[in-house]
């Protein structure tokens, strides 16, 4: 859903516009003329091939499914009202072809309004279908403004359609008062091969074992979101863990990520039947408590059943609790819920008390209003209340837009723009809780829509409570100063803001209570400072830390290096003091908006992050091939406005197990979209002393299921189950 507040404050809730859902298209009735076509990739660099068709769309209206995006299919039927389908075969764009070539597939629909541009509005949805109704690489193009009568989607290095597979193109009425003719063209243009992803490097300083998680498979009734994207991961100190994607679909481990269960689709099997109508599942999150209780939730976007607690627009957070080791039980009976965990919700995050069983926190952003809210459960997620004095569910703000904590109320502009990350509970004093967020000065937030592809947020802040969430200060600094102002800490030309939200600012707390904040910086203009070049489009990762509970913060230090020039969707986890692990999507392209960019899942570790000159060791954990081709949109729901590629949604994640090993999870959408996870098997650990079992589940070559997929260079043998990832490994010292 949308990821910041400000210039577009009343946008509806939305789903991801790039996904893998089950969508049986075989029952199509209407068709374009001709109804199908074929493109074969040419061998000559610089050449192109095209095919054309035409059709007529009848009158009708199709609202974006789930409140945004994907107009031209229905969650309860094969096609939206009045949809005019066309199928395209794409041949020759194989993996070997892309060793020497690149390709861009552009599908365009144009029309002359029969009545007027406001009376004849069309939309187009495209997807790759494997021939059995399983979709991936879904894209949507709708009118962004009245008068725009050209609809376009673009695929960079699209995979070939094999067997019965095809590309589906559906044109339908967005708001159409009469029959409307249209013409369409699909063009494949060929260029030189592009290799701007970080690639696989030569050192073997790290070992990682990678697994492709089993897909949730076709669901009984198609939902409005994917079964991959925005993957989260959490492993507790007993080896119990959970991975989640949209729905939520969840996978469970009870052995520190050595093995993962079959997927369980809570959205389709539990929430849809009880509270959330089929087709309205969206953001999700999942964690595991110290008592091995599992928590997972679904942000349901309406229209919703009557809910006396729901205030404002049709969105609510449905939370589930599993105290049976994560096993779903018969028909999902082990997942208690859904339990109401706030309304008017956008991008919710769990946090659990590291000591006390059943103590669960939930933070989320208002969907319509300005606040970052904070709820508390003392009964294992069965009920959530507002712990803040004078607050009521769902309006329970930790930021000073309503609670007036002086002097912090003079230093915050949440009503005009912010985005927030997961709350942190201090393991040395569990009454101390932090909520990290980004904002901007009022003028910047109110006047700068994301025309450059990213929200205009420039300041890092950290709200804090020292009494378990009853009272809050909007900043850890007693004077209300931000932890960092990017327009002060980095070169600033006085007009083009240095932006930080690419996409969430994430934070971590180590075993001694030291704080770390990770952000992705784009300097607003071209500049050379020391050895760091800012092109005005590049994005780099920076880390700040605090050893006094956020009263003061270190100077920012750069994390990425080695030719990586675009770093987005960052996440951080901490172990013992000074030991942090970081993951993100990285590319050597100069701009995350570059449609020719290629991306890898990147990993960095530091064992001296609290020093004056921290060092970081980097590795590519996703393997020899990119995990995504094309741009990565940073505008959240408003990727529909900017036209960016949102196939990867808004984040990936990393966690830590009791052995001190890092576990990353990410989306790979080269071909059918999948969720992949990698467990660290060797290299620097995040815990110096740990509670690792006597027989570590990460002994090389031991205990991995044969279905797991290893990544790395050549295998030691044909039957090898584990490879040490060749990861680079550049060691750099901060400037």
Q: Is the pLDDT of residue 322 over 60?
A: yes
Ranking 307-321, 356-370, 432-446, 531-545 by mean pLDDT, the lowest is 307-321
Peptide bond before residue 564 is cis, with ω within 30 degrees of 0:
no
Question: What is the reported pLDDT for 275?
Answer: 65
**Cα-flanking dihedrals φ and ψ of residue 3, to 5°?**
-120, 0
CB atoms closer than 10 angstroms to residue 600: 26
* Residue range 375-390: mean pLDDT, rounded: 91
Query: What is the C-alpha separation between 728 and 197, in angstroms, rounded?
Result: 14
Q: What is the mean pLDDT of residues 315-319?
A: 86
DSSP 204: B
Q: Assign residue 409 a region: left if phi > 0, alpha if psi is -120 to 50, beta otherwise?
A: alpha
Q: Kind and range of the H or E element at 266?
A: helix 266-266
CA dist 42 and 719 (Å) reads 38
Ranking 36-40, 100-104, 651-655, 667-671 by mean pLDDT, the lowest is 667-671
> Would the pLDDT of 572 be above 90?
yes
Of 84, 41, 80, the closest CA to residue 64 belongs to 80
Residue 254's pLDDT is 94
Q: Which of 184-198, 343-357, 435-449, 512-526 has the lowest mean pLDDT?
A: 435-449
Is the pLDDT reported for residue 460 higher than 80? Answer: yes
| Range in 16-30, 71-85, 431-445, 620-634 the model is least confident about | 16-30
pLDDT of residue 308: 44
Mean pLDDT over residues 344-371, rounded?
88
Structure pTM? 0.80
**135-174 residue pLDDT tens:** 777 777 754 444 578 888 888 888 899 888 899 898 988 8
Q: What is the pLDDT of residue 123?
A: 85
Instruction: Tell me what pLDDT residue 652 has.
Output: 96
pLDDT for residue 544 is more than 90:
yes
Report the pLDDT averaged over residues 335-363: 92
Helix boundaries (H) for 564-678: 639-642
Structural domains of the chain ordered from first start: 36-192 (2.60.120.380), 206-216+492-714+722-735 (no CATH), 239-412 (no CATH)
Mean confidence (pLDDT) of the chain: 78
CA distance 711 to 713: 7
Contact 399, 407 (CB under 8 A): no
Are 541 and 582 spatial neighbours (Cβ–Cβ below 8 Å)? yes
pLDDT for 200-215, tens place per residue?
Answer: 543 456 788 889 898 7
Q: How confident is the model at residue 283 (pLDDT cuts 50, 70, 90)?
A: confident
pLDDT at 441: 72
Q: What is the mean pLDDT of residues 230-257?
A: 94
* CB 606 within 8 Å of CB 580: yes
Could you tell me the pLDDT band of residue 636, with boundaries at 50, 70 and 90? confident
Q: Are 609 and 543 in contact (CB under 8 A)?
A: yes
Pairing of strands 628-629, 615-620: unpaired
CB atoms within 10 A of CB 481: 18
- For the chain, how big is the Rg over CA atoms in Å? 24
What values do phi and psi take at 437, rounded to 5? -160, 165
Q: Given this model, what pLDDT does residue 81 score?
A: 60
Q: What confidence category does residue 343 fall into, taking pLDDT thresholds of 50, 70 and 90?
A: confident
DSSP-based three-state secondary structure for 581? strand
- Helix H or strand E segment including 273: helix 272-274
Residue 82 has pLDDT above 50, yes or no: yes
pLDDT at residue 274, rounded to an integer: 60
Beta bridge partners, 506, equal: 518
Query: What count of other Cβ atoms lies within 10 Å of the Cβ of residue 613?
Result: 9
Q: 456, 440 in Cβ contact below 8 A? A: yes
Mean pLDDT of 492-496: 82
- pLDDT tens digits for range 396-443: 888 654 444 433 333 333 444 678 899 999 999 999 999 999 888 755
% pLDDT > 90, the chain: 40
pLDDT at residue 405 in the model: 41
Return the higher-pLDDT residue of 365 and 319: 319
Instruction: Answer yes or no: is pLDDT of 583 > 90.
Output: yes
Q: Has residue 717 got a pLDDT over 50?
A: no
DSSP result, 506-548: EEEE-TT--EEEEEEEB-SS-EEETTEEE-SS-BEEEEEEESS
Residue 361's closest CA among 375, 379, 372, 373? Answer: 375
Whether 121 shows a pLDDT value over 90: the answer reads no
pLDDT (tens digit per residue) in 15-31:
232 333 333 333 334 56
The model's confidence at residue 479, banded by pLDDT at 50, 70 and 90, is confident
Is 70 exceeded by the pLDDT of residue 569? Answer: yes
Indicate whether 701 pLDDT > 50.
Answer: no
Average pLDDT over residues 574-578: 98
Which pLDDT does position 107 carry in this prediction? 94
Higher pLDDT pick, 479 / 390: 479
Q: What was the pLDDT predicted at 719?
A: 26
Residue 583 CB coordination number (10 Å) = 31
pLDDT over 70 for what percent of the chain? 74
pLDDT score of 226: 53
User: What's the rounded Cα separation, in Å, for the pair 98 and 90?
Assistant: 14
Instruction: Indicate the helix (H) or strand (E) that contains 191.
Output: strand 180-192
Does 62 have pLDDT greater than 80? no
């Amino acid at each position: 859903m949308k990821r910041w507040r400000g210039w577009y404050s009343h946008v509806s809730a939305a789903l991801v516009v790039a996904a893998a859902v089950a969508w049986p298209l075989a029952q199509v009735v209407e068709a374009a003329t001709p109804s199908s076509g074929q493109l074969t990739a040419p061998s000559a660099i610089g050449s192109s091939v095209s095919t054309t068709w035409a059709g007529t769309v009848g009158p009708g209206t199709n609202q974006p499914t789930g409140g945004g995006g994907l107009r031209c299919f229905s969650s309860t039927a094969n096609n939206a009202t009045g949809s005019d389908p066309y199928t395209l075969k794409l041949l020759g764009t194989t993996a070997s072809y892309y060793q020497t070539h690149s390709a861009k597939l552009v599908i365009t629909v144009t029309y002359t309004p029969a009545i007027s541009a406001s009376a004849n509005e069309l939309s187009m949805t495209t997807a790759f279908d494997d021939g059995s109704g399983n979709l991936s690489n879904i894209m949507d193009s709708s009118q962004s403004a009245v008068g725009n009568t050209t609809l376009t989607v673009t695929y960079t290095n699209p995979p070939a359609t094999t067997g019965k597979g095809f590309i589906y193109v559906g044109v339908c009425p967005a708001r159409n008062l009469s029959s409307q003719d249209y013409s369409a063209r699909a063009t494949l243009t060929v260029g030189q091969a592009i290799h701007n992803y970080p690639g696989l490097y030569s050192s073997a300083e790290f070992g990682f074992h990678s697994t492709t998680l089993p897909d949730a498979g076709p669901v009984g009734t198609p939902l409005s979101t994917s079964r991959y994207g925005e993957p989260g991961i959490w492993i507790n100190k007993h080896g119990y863990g959970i991975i989640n994607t949209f729905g939520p679909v969840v996978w469970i481990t009870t052995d520190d990520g050595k093995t993962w269960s079959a997927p369980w689709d809570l959205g389709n099997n539990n929430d849809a039947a009880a509270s959330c109508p089929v087709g309205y599942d969206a953001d999700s999150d999942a964690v595991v408590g110290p008592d091995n209780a599992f928590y997972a939730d679904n942000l349901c976007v309406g229209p919703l059943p009557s809910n006396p607690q729901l205030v404002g627009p049709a969105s609510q957070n449905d939370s589930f609790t599993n105290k049976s080791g994560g096993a779903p039980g018969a028909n999902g009976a082990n997942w208690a819920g859904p339990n109401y965990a706030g309304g008017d919700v956008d991008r919710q995050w769990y946090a659990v008390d590291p000591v006390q069983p059943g103590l669960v926190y939930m933070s989320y952003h208002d969907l319509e209003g300005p606040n970052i809210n904070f709820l508390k459960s003392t009964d294992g997620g069965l009920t959530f209340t507002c712990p803040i004095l004078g607050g009521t569910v769902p309006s329970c703000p930790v930021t000073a837009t309503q609670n007036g904590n002086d002097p912090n109320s003079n230093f915050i502009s949440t009503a005009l723009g912010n985005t927030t990350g997961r709350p942190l509970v201090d393991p040395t004093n569990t009454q101390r809780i932090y909520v990290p967020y980004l904002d901007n000065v009022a003028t910047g937030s109110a006047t700068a829509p994301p025309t450059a592809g990213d929200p205009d947020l420039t300041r890092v802040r950290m709200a804090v409570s020292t009494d378990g969430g009853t009272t809050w200060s909007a900043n850890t600094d007693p004077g209300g100063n931000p932890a960092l102002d990017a327009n002060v800490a980095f070169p600033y030309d006085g007009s083009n803001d240095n932006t930080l939200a690419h996409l969430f600012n994430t934070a971590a707390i180590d075993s001694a209570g030291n704080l770390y904040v990770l952000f992705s910086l784009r300097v607003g203009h071209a500049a050379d400072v020391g050895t760091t070049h800012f092109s005005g489009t590049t994005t780099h990762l920076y880390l700040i830390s605090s050893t006094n509970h956020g009263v003061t913060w270190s100077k920012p230090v750069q994390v990425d290096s080695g030719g990586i020039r675009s770093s987005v969707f960052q996440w951080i986890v901490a172990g013992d003091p000074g030991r942090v692990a970081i993951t993100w999507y990285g590319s050597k392209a100069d701009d995350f908006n570059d449609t020719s960019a290629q991306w890898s899942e990147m990993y960095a570790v530091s064992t001296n992050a609290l020093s004056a000159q921290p060092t970081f060791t980097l590795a590519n954990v996703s393997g020899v091939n990119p995990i995504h081709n094309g741009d990565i949109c940073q505008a959240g729901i408003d990727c529909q406005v900017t036209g960016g590629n949102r196939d990867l949604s808004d984040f990936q994640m990393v966690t830590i197990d009791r052995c001190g090993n890092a576990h990353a999870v990410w989306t790979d959408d080269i071909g059918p979209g999948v969720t992949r996870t990698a467990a660290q098997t060797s290299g620097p650990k995040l815990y110096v002393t740990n509670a690792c079992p006597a027989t570590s589940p990460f002994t090389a070559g031991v205990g991995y299921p044969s279905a797991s997929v290893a990544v790395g260079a050549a295998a030691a043998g044909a039957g090898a189950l584990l490879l040490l990832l060749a990861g680079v490994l550049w060691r750099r010292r901060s400037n």
